[in-house]
Each structure stands twice: as structure tokens, then as C-alpha cells.
Amino acid sequence: MNMFDAQVDAVRAAITTAGFPKVEIVVAETGWPYRGDAGEEGATVENTQAYNDGLVAHLHSLVGTPMAAGKSVDTYIFALYDEDMKPDPTSECSFSLFRLNLTPTYDADITKSSSNAAGPVSQVN
């Protein structure tokens, strides 16, 4: 139903085919840029909030993926701070949750909890 699940299940299918069906999957980095250069219209604060809010809600729902129903995946949201020194396009350097002075870059409510969750299902990287 969404690209996140499709990508996780693609990795799950490959690992299972390779003979390791019990290997746990951890998403080490996912996010959406909050600003970009000309031509990068999708890199907006609104899209970033929608992506992170949807991701956290999906993980906390414990719906899982089609191949692993009812199971959440430990997921780390990228990134805590911008990577200002990267020589890449603006969108590649603009994933931060916080500015260097510790104020939020945008209103990212990533602290939502679920009463049926045993612990955190999303982290900040």
C-alpha cells in the first residue's frame, strides 16, 4: 500500500531467498527533505511533515508490511541536523529535525506513542 512497505518487503524477500528468513530488518535511514533548489518542488516543509507523520503513524499502528503483518520495523529518521558541508543539491543537505541552536527546523511530532506498543518503534538518527 506504500513505498516504505514495498521496499522493506523487497529486502525481506531477497534475504529470505538467500536463505536467511529470520534476519531482522532495521531501516537505518529514511526521511524527506524540507527544502530544495529550483526544480525540486517536492522538497517542502509540508511534504516533510506529511512523510514523517505518516511514517510514525504507520510504524506505531503495528500493521506491519504485507510479508510481515503485525510486526513493526525499527526505523531511524534521517537526520538530526543538516549536512551543510555536503557539495550536493540543497535537498540532499536539508533533512534536519533541529537547527544547530536546538530549535526545531519544523514541527515534527515524532513523539507520538501507541498504547499497545512495547517500546519505541521509531528513532531519530
83 is catalytic: yes
- In this prediction, residue 42 carries a pLDDT of 97
Does some domain include residue 12? no
Closest Cα to residue 73, out of 13, 3, 120?
120
Does some domain include residue 15? no
What pLDDT, in 10s, does the model give residues 33-72? Answer: 999 999 999 999 999 999 999 999 999 999 999 999 999 8
Number of domains in the chain: 1
Does some domain include residue 77? yes
Q: Which amino acid is at 23?
A: V
Does some domain include residue 35? yes
Does some domain include residue 88? yes
- The residue range of the domain holding 88 is 30-124
24 is catalytic: no
Selecting among 22, 40, 46, 92, the annotated active-site residue is: 92
Does some domain include residue 73? yes
How far is the CA of 70 from the CAs of 52, 57, 63, 67, 87, in angstroms? 20, 14, 5, 10, 41
For 54, the grid coordinates are: 505518516
Report the DSSP beta bridge partners of residue 75.
27, 122
Does some domain include residue 87? yes
- In this prediction, residue 109 carries a pLDDT of 73
What pLDDT, in 10s, does the model give residues 56-115? Answer: 999 999 999 999 999 989 999 999 999 988 899 999 999 999 998 999 998 887 655 544
